Amino acid sequence: MFSDQDDYWLPDKVKITLDYMKNCERENPGVPICVFTGLERVDANLKTLNQFMALNITKSEYEFKKLISGNCASGCTEMLNRELYANLGEYDSNINLHDWWAVLYASACGVVSHVNQALIYYRIHENNSIGGKEINIFKRLCLIVNSPLRKFKQSRQFFYQEQSRLLFFRERYLNKIRPENLNYLDEYLKIFSKNKFTRIKAIIKTHYLSGRGLIDKIINLIKILLF
């Protein structure tokens, strides 16, 4: 379990998560598994902010096709089994978020499961490194800001950093990724093609812009085609 934050673990956090993990291992022996839970946001003094994360989410939200572009599993709630931990490999500069990397690997090669309980108080204060902000490529790419050129360059840089990460992910785990996930990854990587027609086809096939309003979809599509 990751414990590198200033959050507060509820007394039964480890037991509930471990019991859930053991049950997953009985049902899926010998495969990498990541279990994550919900969390409750609190202030620096543990006063509730009445905000919960990762509760009542559907299984589709933590499947490989969804996790490839955004993470719903907070690292402070994750538990990795031995098969997952032992096969992630050493740190690399392409790995920008360790919790996303771990759950993405589990979804691509093994199993991800969710405990629908908030078992940790997640502190929100001015010194947060991440601060509970959702990590999602779509939101980063469609920001409407006062300095379009600078933000455009940042978005383009982030866009190609994502390409590098996913290419590295494919290379490192090529022989472990399930065939259907490898096929989807290869299709998804075509979004970064220099051929704009290829990009458009990949966007359609992978539902890259799904779940967004029409205006956001148009803005995102224009930005992507300009990169």
Residues in CB range of 196: below 8 A, 6 or more apart = 225
Q: Which pLDDT score, from 0 to 100, does residue 125 have?
A: 73
Name which of 67-71, 114-118, 180-184 the model is least confident about.
Answer: 67-71
Say which residue, 223 or 69, is predicted with more confidence: 69
Q: Which pLDDT score, from 0 to 100, does residue 95 have?
A: 93
Alpha carbons 44 and 21: distance in angstroms, whole number = 30
Q: What is the mean pLDDT of residues 26-44?
A: 95
Alpha carbons 174 and 168: distance in angstroms, whole number = 10
Is 90 exceeded by the pLDDT of residue 217? no
Is 70 exceeded by the pLDDT of residue 71? yes
Is 60 exceeded by the pLDDT of residue 136? no
Say which residue, 194 or 110, is predicted with more confidence: 110
Asked whether the beta carbons of 122 and 78 are under 8 A apart, the reply is: no
Is 60 exceeded by the pLDDT of residue 145? no
Q: Which pLDDT score, from 0 to 100, does residue 139 have?
A: 57
Is 60 exceeded by the pLDDT of residue 140? no
Q: Which pLDDT score, from 0 to 100, does residue 32 have?
A: 98
Say which residue, 4 or 114, is predicted with more confidence: 114
The confidence band for 210, taking pLDDT boundaries of 50, 70 and 90, is low
Q: Which pLDDT score, from 0 to 100, does residue 146 have?
A: 46
Q: What is the mean pLDDT of residues 194-201?
A: 87
The confidence band for 150, taking pLDDT boundaries of 50, 70 and 90, is low
Residues recorded for the chain: 227
Q: What is the mean pLDDT of residues 208-220?
A: 71
Alpha carbons 195 and 192: distance in angstroms, whole number = 9
Q: What is the mean pLDDT of residues 41-69?
A: 89
Q: Which pLDDT score, from 0 to 100, does residue 92 have?
A: 94
Q: Which pLDDT score, from 0 to 100, does residue 143 have?
A: 52
Other beta carbons within 10 angstroms of residue 115's beta carbon come to: 20
Residues in CB range of 40: below 8 A, 6 or more apart = 48, 51, 52, 53, 118, 120, 121, 122
Please provide the average confidence, as pLDDT, over all residues in the chain: 86
